[in-house]
Amino acid sequence: MFSHNQRLQYSVHVHEPNPALANLMLEQFGGPQGELAAAMRYFTQALAEDDPGRRDMLFDIATEELSHLEVIGTIVAMLNKGAKGELAEAVDSEAELFRKLQGAGNDSHVTQVLFGGGPSLINSGGQLWTAGYVDSIGEPTADLRSNIAAEARAKIVYERLINLTDDPGVKDALTFLMTREIAHQKSFEKALYSIEPNFPPGKLAGRPAFADMYVNTSQGAGDMRGPWNNDADFNVVSDHEKHMGIDGGDGLMSVKLSSDQKKIVDQMTARLKSNLDVNPTTGAELGKAGGGDQLNRH
Amino acid sequence: MFSHNQRLQYSVHVHEPNPALANLMLEQFGGPQGELAAAMRYFTQALAEDDPGRRDMLFDIATEELSHLEVIGTIVAMLNKGAKGELAEAVDSEAELFRKLQGAGNDSHVTQVLFGGGPSLINSGGQLWTAGYVDSIGEPTADLRSNIAAEARAKIVYERLINLTDDPGVKDALTFLMTREIAHQKSFEKALYSIEPNFPPGKLAGRPAFADMYVNTSQGAGDMRGPWNNDADFNVVSDHEKHMGIDGGDGLMSVKLSSDQKKIVDQMTARLKSNLDVNPTTGAELGKAGGGDQLNRH
Amino acid sequence: MFSHNQRLQYSVHVHEPNPALANLMLEQFGGPQGELAAAMRYFTQALAEDDPGRRDMLFDIATEELSHLEVIGTIVAMLNKGAKGELAEAVDSEAELFRKLQGAGNDSHVTQVLFGGGPSLINSGGQLWTAGYVDSIGEPTADLRSNIAAEARAKIVYERLINLTDDPGVKDALTFLMTREIAHQKSFEKALYSIEPNFPPGKLAGRPAFADMYVNTSQGAGDMRGPWNNDADFNVVSDHEKHMGIDGGDGLMSVKLSSDQKKIVDQMTARLKSNLDVNPTTGAELGKAGGGDQLNRH
Amino acid sequence: MFSHNQRLQYSVHVHEPNPALANLMLEQFGGPQGELAAAMRYFTQALAEDDPGRRDMLFDIATEELSHLEVIGTIVAMLNKGAKGELAEAVDSEAELFRKLQGAGNDSHVTQVLFGGGPSLINSGGQLWTAGYVDSIGEPTADLRSNIAAEARAKIVYERLINLTDDPGVKDALTFLMTREIAHQKSFEKALYSIEPNFPPGKLAGRPAFADMYVNTSQGAGDMRGPWNNDADFNVVSDHEKHMGIDGGDGLMSVKLSSDQKKIVDQMTARLKSNLDVNPTTGAELGKAGGGDQLNRH
Amino acid sequence: MFSHNQRLQYSVHVHEPNPALANLMLEQFGGPQGELAAAMRYFTQALAEDDPGRRDMLFDIATEELSHLEVIGTIVAMLNKGAKGELAEAVDSEAELFRKLQGAGNDSHVTQVLFGGGPSLINSGGQLWTAGYVDSIGEPTADLRSNIAAEARAKIVYERLINLTDDPGVKDALTFLMTREIAHQKSFEKALYSIEPNFPPGKLAGRPAFADMYVNTSQGAGDMRGPWNNDADFNVVSDHEKHMGIDGGDGLMSVKLSSDQKKIVDQMTARLKSNLDVNPTTGAELGKAGGGDQLNRH
Amino acid sequence: MFSHNQRLQYSVHVHEPNPALANLMLEQFGGPQGELAAAMRYFTQALAEDDPGRRDMLFDIATEELSHLEVIGTIVAMLNKGAKGELAEAVDSEAELFRKLQGAGNDSHVTQVLFGGGPSLINSGGQLWTAGYVDSIGEPTADLRSNIAAEARAKIVYERLINLTDDPGVKDALTFLMTREIAHQKSFEKALYSIEPNFPPGKLAGRPAFADMYVNTSQGAGDMRGPWNNDADFNVVSDHEKHMGIDGGDGLMSVKLSSDQKKIVDQMTARLKSNLDVNPTTGAELGKAGGGDQLNRH
């Protein structure tokens, strides 16, 4: 059960309205690396988690991310406050309002026209938030790695936003939010490594011959060696002929059809056979300049 | 530049057609943890990567994932082969075809009716693949963590699929694909730790006071301690009053409006003010049984 | 700022696992009429709301909806608990697991294979939640009407789910959730009618001639009169000729182009002109049985 | 059965091309509050409606909305007419065309480059129209409320667009379209209240104890009372402890597993247990500056 | 301007309710090859079309497709009629309703639970209709080819549906709808070839050396020749080395950076450099069974 | 099985960074007419294709399209190279970085902030790539027509992009890519017409009476004749009365319900009946200025 207090986790004192900056902030409100995605990632994991310790941690962090969603959404609302009133009250002339809207730049027009200046669950490019951003799969050693990665991504997007604003209030709140991603990443790392073993994830072991193989599929001038394909840990296979049928088999495909099914498939294949021995006249030839001339006049 | 050979990386010899199993396999063809998402994650990173070693590794693995997309898509095609012909050729009666389609179960009807038995870029529930699954953000210490997590997730989904089939050919190919995710995860781990330092990701340091803080937002009976909020690494803040205005400020929000803007915002607020002193008759009251009686008769 | 307690708003004691029922429940977890959509609708409105009373109400109800999301998600987790372990641990044979998965029915396979039995932000058909479900536009007389409608829809979907289960614990919790939608609808109705006036929404009056007009565009046997086009309130226009150019104008379209623009548009139009005087041979004719015969043989 | 006449419902005489304004207009062509969403909302309801009066009304208004889609689409086409020809014919230099495209502003580049200046089913931010905007659920007391709300939202978006243009022809047509939303809202209101009773929607009554309860989940400084939680109609519960297990139960969750299932779930939980007594070295520590030094050198 | 009559273009007399069949029919209501996609494809083209003949044809066919949308939607409504009432009125026991819902099969549960038995803009797998299905780009020689292809696809999906039902009324109406796609394809073919020339589409000629080249990228056992790479029309390039830098250049990439930009890019690259000379300990090694032992105990 | 070489199919030498131009290029990277859609269209067809010749052709062209995806993605990466470093390294002041980001124009801010300057699978408006763009349906005479149309559309979008840039390296590579679409269209045309017959697509013939009928649904001033409704090939039906019940039937709809089902449907209809004889007071009337006055005061 959640409860709420209108005091924010972090104070938001914005210097002046700036709809274009507001629009960039949406990246962390309704964008793929934003706070709703984070909150929902951890919340859905918490609900299905059977381990009481991790469950508590996931609820702790999910709840904090909801509070971050509130902070970033409040920044958006503050930055839009002036523009919102101007469009709703239409005190300026239409030409002046149009000029202001255009002048604000980037995609801030969507926020003004469609959402009336309110924070909305889109990213800075207007893309609707989708649950496709939430990558929880219900297995903790995979999910914790997803969480670690998600915190790293969110940290970077905050860093980029911080680099783009000199409004001290916005910068301050963003720095707080960015720092919290670091703290959360640390917690998720601790949680991952307190499951022993956690690699490979899951229960099934891989097949040894393929677990240490590095398939060198991209060759030529840029071909390189590095820690990711070092000889101590990996068996590097560079011969492209050996990449195919790497099981030692034919590299082909087959399925056993019943004789009835085979007959039907053969019938379909015959019906739709490409005749290899023709050079048919085609629509492209009819359509070329002069191409249809002898054919299509009355 | 890519080139292709019709021999598969791994031979696919399927025991017999099974459209319902085919549909489950789509999870790794057009699903969020599937091979297209993997290939596109690494390919988009490779294109923007300036470090020649990582760039080569990303192309190597992206190319292999495309080859895996081909293997899993071939499994789908083989498992659907019989059903595909039957619907296209309509040799059976309509009632028999309907019965077969229904009997196959799960969402395999979409594959038959819409895609004609071919592999399509949907997951096992019919959800269209979306680039929202690709979480590349153009910063290698974040992207490599995303790759590590993605490989872990894909490994688990393959494990679940392996647990669901006793077709030896399908099981064999799935086990190969699952194992390769383990190998890829190892390479991405090596690549991450060959960047020094890689934590925190990015260039900006966090604010120390918040980087080691654990905000205990979820309390009550399930409240627990563990490695993720241990005293050695974390400053645990449990007093909910201290969670608000954690910056030491008021936890409130403000923006400095020009006097013109303020006037307009005030005007809008007044126009849309909720009158707190009324108990208005509402639509709900009109709509209750007997509610509109005295009001609405001719 | 949010806080959380692991005790639920409503106790969830499920009689026995039932993955197919779990899948239906997803409709109110990640479906369009579900609790996340509700929570986000009110939360985004609250953040932008300048009226302190409505702002508080919106936070109250948004927070409760998050708690409902937790309740319905917990129902899903409980109903899936058995199946989740079976697939992850693979104690049964593959054939048995496949049979169970297929036997559960509807789209529950997605929850098992992709989400490991955890609640996920999809509806009962596997469609990913999208912010397109959130219809907040930042104008309270419109938004409150959206909220009233959303509560009515959610009430109905809960009613349908209640009609589909005889698990007493599930039925009990669903009835609570359904009832709360009624209470919320009442609050939103009160809030709407405490703004005076609230109709028409917004600031601009409509043009009187068109505000009371009913355009009878669908005619013929089913044509009817009712309260929605009664003579007291509406001017019914049935003559279809009068529907066109209803402004009294020509019903046509035009734009003033500069002479340069006009020249370019004319050039484009001429280049792409359809020749009305030909009966061209087409691809369809080439493609008919025997159609291409004289043309395309070597 | 539909029929069509090329004369528009309302004449569209645009003063001059303006691709940026065209792009804003897309909000009502392919946006969530636009005419296609409206037409499809009413059309899908009409098809399933068993009441002959409402069915006729829904077809009337759906058909008019399609005619509005035509009007707004025609405005878009007119506003783009010049730019469309310039890009297709490439009479200007590339630099000049690029400058014009950039100069037009907002997202009008998508319309030019991808759609060739034609109206397309995206909103003003380029988001593809999705049926997630259509909220019909096949129950008239809910659907009519959705229609009322949708008309209110569309009215507001038109009002915002009107405030942004001083092209008299565009303004005139938009004012017509805005006014028709008012008229439609009135019809839908009449239709809702001609169903008696219509509140609560559906057939099941709620549980009385919860139907009049107001759960005060958001407290602190902003806590307020108003018509939405007045004492006459609502039982306000403010004690947060009472919010949990509001049924009088434990607020916990359970499911009865068979002993076999329980054994498997326990096995899974043990396998994935978090060890609470360790402080594991993690990736974050390896990744810190200097963190991996003693470990990873050759 | 559209008008409407409640008489359908084609009579729909369904033998008996069948929710599973209804669900399959949704493929042509809200699916990618369905009637809404068709209507919107032609309608958006018509609005932007400057050629009066094609414009009229596009309106004719768009209007007919809307009438087909009505026919297929009516079939869905009829097939669902019984089930719809049963769920809304809940005359049966919950267990019986659940059994019926499950028994109907495929994705029909979504239609019942979410849409109340009404036709909705999803495909047979529950995927929401998206404007991504509409491929109009505002150039008639491309758009007409898209229309020809779309009619061919729709014809095939209708054929598959016809093969799946023996309800004579449904079969009859579907056969009508399928036949109309043939007629429309013929009209679009005529329209394409009445533009002279229409190939290559657009205004710019291609570069001759590449316009007749066939790049044989897929080689090995399955390599074949056919009309699509015949010697008369194509210059087949099979040497893979020649595929790269096919312009005769280096096949590499470059951009001229200013010296300031170069300095910054170099700085970033150095900061994120992969150290090729280490074999770092990684998370995978920490996570292996026994892997973290010496490191992470208290 | 795929292999890769870091040499591109076409050399990419960009004159100078230009993030706005980069953003336009995304249209062919992650847009609906772009290279990923093309590659996936042909690749999914190849996997299901039983005809060996077409299968080889589809793999050839799919593989080349992947190589084109690499070329266009490389152009994006080069054009963004400077801006990417500036944002990541934050050498400039925040105000300067914000000014540069805004100044670049169009939607390039998304690429910078979210994707760090890397190519991403969105179109130039920020819309995520969706598999809804891929229209393969597993029937070659339909799929080949889809391919022909797709190549025509891609050719046009390249042409528009070429018209927008004067960077000689970009223009050169785009012209190559555009030309290859012409070559591919020719191959697909040859492949289509080497299937005999290919029209109508599929196996079922249409009903003759409807296969040659042209339904003139859009009439009035713009009504025209042309090749698409010529008398030689079409039977034009213009009488709107004859459009309804075109089967010669009543144009109505029906379904045979069991008597139990009928009773339930009647019960539902009665419960939800619209009372035609009332003029109910509605929410609109309560909401009008002064409307609720007599009702709602304390």
Cross-chain Cβ contact B94/E164 below 8 Å: yes
Confidence band for B292, pLDDT divided at 50, 70 and 90: low
Cross-chain Cβ contact A129/C128 below 8 Å: no
Give me C209's structure tokens.
Answer: 């001639």
Nearest chain E Cα to D129, which residue? E131
Which of F214, D54, C244, D4 shows the shortest CA–CA distance to E5? D4
Q: Are F169 and F26 in the same domain?
A: yes
User: Whole-angstrom Cα distance, residue F39 to residue B121?
Assistant: 12
Which of E18, E120, E33, E107 shows the shortest CA–CA distance to E73? E120
Q: Are C74 and C188 in the same domain?
A: yes
Cross-chain Cβ contact F284/C199 below 8 Å: yes
D84-108, pLDDT tens digit by residue?
Answer: 999 999 988 999 999 999 999 999 9
Rg over alpha carbons for chain F, rounded to the nearest Å, is 29
Torsion of CA B161, B164, B166, B172, to 10 degrees: 10
Cross-chain Cβ contact D193/B296 below 8 Å: yes
- Residues, chain E: 298
Q: Are E100 and E160 in the same domain?
A: yes
Please determine, for residue B69, whether its predicted confidence score (pLDDT) is greater than 70.
Answer: yes
Cross-chain Cβ contact D287/B232 below 8 Å: no
Q: Are A126 and A215 in the same domain?
A: no
Specify if F199 maps to a domain: no
Specify if E66 maps to a domain: yes
pLDDT value for A294: 46
Cross-chain Cβ contact B274/D227 below 8 Å: yes
- Collect all residues with Cβ–Cβ distance below 8 Å to A251 and sequence separation of at least 6: A244, A245, B7, B8, B9, B10, B11, F1
Smallest CA–CA separation between E266 and chain D, in Å?
21
Q: Are C50 and C181 in the same domain?
A: yes
Cross-chain Cβ contact F219/D140 below 8 Å: no
Question: What average pLDDT is seen over chain D?
Answer: 95
List binding-site positions of A for Mn(2+): 35, 65, 68, 151, 184
pLDDT value for D179: 98
Chain D residues within an 8 Å CB radius of A181: none
Q: What b-and-e string marks burial along C207-231, b requiring 16 or more CB atoms within 10 Å of the CB?
A: beebbbbbbbbbbbebebbbbbbbe
Looking at residues C232-255, what average pLDDT do you find?
96
Task: Write out the residues of chain C at the interface with chain F, using a CB-CB cutoff of 8 A.
Answer: 141, 192-193, 196-199, 220, 224-227, 230, 232-233, 244, 274-276, 278-280, 283-292, 296
Give me B269's structure tokens.
Answer: 């607020």
- Helix, strand, or coil here: C99? helix
pLDDT value for F290: 80
Specify if F152 maps to a domain: yes
Specify if D4 maps to a domain: no
Looking at residues A279-296, what average pLDDT do you find?
80
Q: Are B172 and B219 in the same domain?
A: no
Q: Are D263 and D236 in the same domain?
A: no
Q: Are C102 and C141 in the same domain?
A: yes
Task: Evaluate the omega torsion of the peptide bond into residue F19 and state whether it is cis, within 30 degrees of 0.
Answer: no
pLDDT value for E293: 56
Helical H runs in D194-247?
208-211, 240-243
- Report the percent of chain A where pLDDT is more than 90: 94
Which of F185, F187, F128, F182 shows the shortest CA–CA distance to F159? F182
User: Whole-angstrom Cα distance, residue F127 to residue E235?
Assistant: 38
Chain B residues within an 8 Å CB radius of F60: 4
- Residues, chain D: 298
Nearest chain D Cα to C173, which residue? D247
Give me A20's structure tokens.
Answer: 């274009």
Tens digits of pLDDT across chain E (298 residues): 999 999 999 999 999 999 999 999 999 999 999 999 999 999 999 999 999 999 999 999 999 999 999 999 999 999 999 899 999 999 899 999 999 999 999 999 999 999 999 999 999 999 999 999 999 999 999 999 999 999 999 999 999 999 999 999 999 999 999 999 999 999 999 999 999 999 999 999 999 999 999 999 999 989 999 999 999 999 999 999 999 999 999 999 999 999 999 999 999 999 999 999 999 999 999 999 887 654 444 4
- Collect all residues with Cβ–Cβ distance below 8 Å to C1 and sequence separation of at least 6: A4, A5, A7, A8, A9, A67, A70, B243, B244, B251
A99-121, pLDDT tens digit by residue?
Answer: 999 999 999 999 999 999 999 99
Neighbours of chain A (3+ CB pairs under 8 A): B, C, D, E, F
Confidence band for C55, pLDDT divided at 50, 70 and 90: very high
Specify if E88 maps to a domain: yes
Nearest CB neighbour to E283, from listed B53, B189, B203? B189
Q: Please identify which residue in the block is written with the tokens 């091979």.
A: B35
Cross-chain Cβ contact E287/A233 below 8 Å: no
pLDDT value for B91: 86
Are the CB atoms for D141 and D201 separated by under 8 Å?
yes
DSSP 8-class letter at A106: T
Chain A residues within an 8 Å CB radius of E296: 193
Looking at residues D27-44, what average pLDDT do you find?
98
Angle (nearest 5°) at CA D145 between D142 and D150:
125
Tens digits of pLDDT across chain F (298 residues): 999 999 999 999 999 999 999 999 999 999 999 999 999 999 999 999 999 999 999 999 999 999 999 999 999 999 999 899 999 999 899 999 999 999 999 999 999 999 999 999 999 999 999 999 999 999 999 999 999 999 999 999 999 999 999 999 999 999 999 999 999 999 999 999 999 999 999 999 999 999 999 999 999 989 999 999 999 999 999 999 999 999 999 999 999 999 999 999 999 999 999 999 999 999 999 999 887 654 444 4
pLDDT value for A149: 98
A139-197, pLDDT tens digit by residue?
Answer: 999 999 999 999 999 999 999 999 999 999 999 999 999 999 999 999 999 999 999 99
User: Whole-angstrom Cα distance, residue E35 to residue E97?
Assistant: 32
Chain E residues within an 8 Å CB radius of A284: 199
Looking at residues C220-231, what average pLDDT do you find?
95
Neighbours of chain F (3+ CB pairs under 8 A): A, B, C, D, E
Give me D180's structure tokens.
Answer: 């028709």
Cross-chain Cβ contact A292/E225 below 8 Å: no
Nearest chain F Cα to D54, which residue? F274
D104-122, pLDDT tens digit by residue?
Answer: 999 999 999 999 999 999 9
Nearest CB neighbour to F137, from listed B44, B114, B292? B114
Nearest CB neighbour to B198, from listed D141, D226, D287? D287
Interface test with chain B among D279, D285, D297, by most B beta carbons within 10 Å: D279
Cross-chain Cβ contact D1/E298 below 8 Å: no
- Helix, strand, or coil here: C191? helix
Other CB atoms closer than 10 Å to residue B222's CB: what's the count?
16
Cross-chain Cβ contact A283/E225 below 8 Å: no
Give me F112's structure tokens.
Answer: 């910078």
Confidence band for D293, pLDDT divided at 50, 70 and 90: low
The secondary element (H helix, E strand) that includes residue A4 is strand A2-5
Specify if F248 maps to a domain: no
B17-52, pLDDT tens digit by residue?
Answer: 999 999 999 999 999 999 999 999 999 999 999 999
Q: Are E151 and E107 in the same domain?
A: yes
pLDDT value for D14: 97
Confidence band for C198, pLDDT divided at 50, 70 and 90: very high
Q: Please identify which residue in the block is written with the tokens 């962390």.
A: A28
D223: domain range?
Answer: 208-243
CATH of the domain at F112: 1.20.1260.10
E241 known member of a binding site: no
B228-258, pLDDT tens digit by residue?
Answer: 999 999 999 999 999 999 999 999 999 999 9
pLDDT value for F297: 43
Which of B217, C238, D295, F124 shows the shortest CA–CA distance to A64? B217
pTM, entire model: 0.97
Looking at residues A69-73, what average pLDDT do you find?
98
User: Whole-angstrom Cα distance, residue E242 to residue D244?
Assistant: 71
Predicted-complex ipTM score: 0.95
pLDDT value for D292: 64
What is the DSSP code string of D81-103?
HHHHHHHHHT-S-HHHHHHHHHH
Smallest CA–CA separation between A89 and chain E, in Å?
33
Specify if F251 maps to a domain: no
Give me F132's structure tokens.
Answer: 């809804």
Determine the residue type at D266: D
How distant, in Å, are the alpha carbons of A226, D21, E275, F179 from that of A231? 9, 61, 16, 44
How distant, in Å, are the alpha carbons of A283, C165, C199, C274, E38 from that of C283? 5, 56, 57, 17, 20
Q: Are A220 and A276 in the same domain?
A: no
Q: Are F221 and F189 in the same domain?
A: no
Q: Are B171 and B286 in the same domain?
A: no
- Helix, strand, or coil here: C90? coil
B175-230, pLDDT tens digit by residue?
Answer: 999 999 999 999 999 999 999 999 999 999 999 999 999 999 999 989 999 999 99
Question: Quick one: three-class SS letters along chain E?
Answer: CEEEECCCCCCEEECCCCHHHHHHHCHHHHCCCCHHHHHHHHHHHHHHCCCHHHHHHHHHHHHHHHHHHHHHHHHHHHHHHHHHHHHHHCCCCHHHHHHHHHHHCCCHHHHHHCCCCCCCCECCCCCECEHHHCCCCCCHHHHHHHHHHHHHHHHHHHHHHHCCCCCHHHHHHHHHHHHHHHHHHHHHHHHHHCCCCCCCCCCCCCCHHHHCEEECCEECCCCCCCHHHCCCCCEEECCHHHHCCCCCCCCCEEECCCHHHHHHHHHHHHHCCCCCCCCCCCHHHHHCCCCCHHHHCC
| Number of structural domains in chain E | 3
Cross-chain Cβ contact D176/C11 below 8 Å: no
Smallest CA–CA separation between B82 and chain D, in Å?
34
- Collect all residues with Cβ–Cβ distance below 8 Å to D203 and sequence separation of at least 6: C159, E88, E89, E90, F271
Specify if B11 maps to a domain: no
Smallest CA–CA separation between E126 and chain B, in Å?
7
Chain D residues within an 8 Å CB radius of E122: 131
User: What's the distance, CA C76 to chain centroid?
Assistant: 22
Smallest CA–CA separation between B222 and chain C, in Å?
6
A243-269, pLDDT tens digit by residue?
Answer: 999 999 999 999 999 999 999 999 999
Other CB atoms closer than 10 Å to residue D61's CB: what's the count?
30
- Helix, strand, or coil here: A51? coil
How distant, in Å, are the alpha carbons of A64, B201, C298 from that of B215? 7, 21, 79
Which of D149, F117, E113 shows the shortest CA–CA distance to C147? D149
How distant, in Å, are the alpha carbons of B72, E224, F4, F136 from that of F1? 12, 17, 10, 21
- Helix, strand, or coil here: C119? coil
Torsion of CA A225, A227, A229, A230, to 10 degrees: 90
Please determine, for residue A74, whether its predicted confidence score (pLDDT) is greater than 60.
Answer: yes
